[in-house]
Amino acid sequence: MSPERPPTAAPAGSELNVYESAEARFEIAARRLGLEQGVYRYLKYPDREITIYIPVAMDNGHMEVFIGYRVLHSSVRGPGKGGIRFAPDVSLDEVRALAAWMTWKCAVVNIPFGGAKGGVICDPERLSRTELERLTRRYTAQLAEWFGPERDVPAPDIGTNEQTMAWVMDTYAMHVRQATTAVVTGKPLELGGSQGRKEATGRGLMICCEKAVAKLRMKRETCRVIVQGFGNVGSHAALLMHQTGFRVIGAADVHGGIYNDKGLDIPRLYDWVYGQGKSLAEFPGGGEKVSAQEILFRPCDILVPAATENQITAANARRLDCKILCEGANGPVTSQADPVIEEKEIFIVPDILGNAGGVTVSYFEWVQDRQGFFWRESEVNERLRDVMERSFDQVVQYAETHGTNNRIAAYILAIDRVARALKLRGFYA
């Protein structure tokens, strides 16, 4: 059930190695900034990487040992912030890349966090609820000295949810002998979670799409949208965009997708998947059945890849038929595909901007927990819109100022902010 050794990550030099993609974009932005060598080296490498081996008593009486990771990329601008991923293909390179992206993401939207990420090699669908709880609590216990509201603040990611975060919070509280709700975000409302957190990443994507449409002088009502990935991020992005007047013509998850150029009934589809627990690919709402990969290349105005990494590569990027590419997943486009997308003049909303709505509302949750005072959902959503709209405008301005695309502009903006904070703090010797 658990691997005896870490899975083989994409090899060095492979286009699918997400850490190399993250590094490649960092290199381009750092050169354009003229980043001095010492600062460059400081920001390139993580603060720390931790590998742990997690013994878990399984329901059948046997013991399994799972491999877990936690990487803190930077604490220059504040405590580490980043999710915990439970998935069979988690690797240290993936966690490294995700931690670095969190640093740049937090800096792009100008919230006072650094970047971190965690993961456990497991298949949560094959574990019982009690096994997941034991795994989560042991993972937390082994990292408790590194976690904390001013150190490193976890959140949900692929394979984890608000229940997982409740177990993390409770385990940490037992170790420090006091209730500490701000140690984790993405919690249930009853334990100090925030209104609007569940929809936050999808809402941030919707806001970025609205801004992109306005920038390109397109009309929302005539914009055709395809969303790849129908988990928490993609489903809420589709639902919110449908509610605000976009025409969602395609949606897909890991099992398959559905495409209808006349538009899908997204509220009905959402209920089919989440209300009735049925497969998206079997939705009887009218439309053509397509694979999760093929749906990326159907004609549309806005494409939202909100599934997993490496969906769009140098080998298939020329097949894209969209005007706006708004990234909901982390790293859905490889660095080697970037020149193709730029050549096709696709307006890109990069992941470190597009999906930053989640970490922004996580920041709001952290603030509310520390204050012991909670905001109305309308206030959360209003504050989120302010952050996303301002950040979008700043990225576009940087792109124009530096004569580059929006992705590299977002990296330049983020690296510049972290580098400035580092220089102000100075180097402890």
Catalytic residues: 117
| Residues ≥6 apart with Cβ < 8 Å to 27 | none
Cα–Cα distances (Å) from 109 to 90, 105, 282, 300, 388, in that order, read: 27, 7, 38, 28, 7
* Phi and psi angles of residue 358, each rounded to the nearest 5 degrees, phi first: -65, -50
| 149 neighbors 182 (Cβ within 8 angstroms) | yes
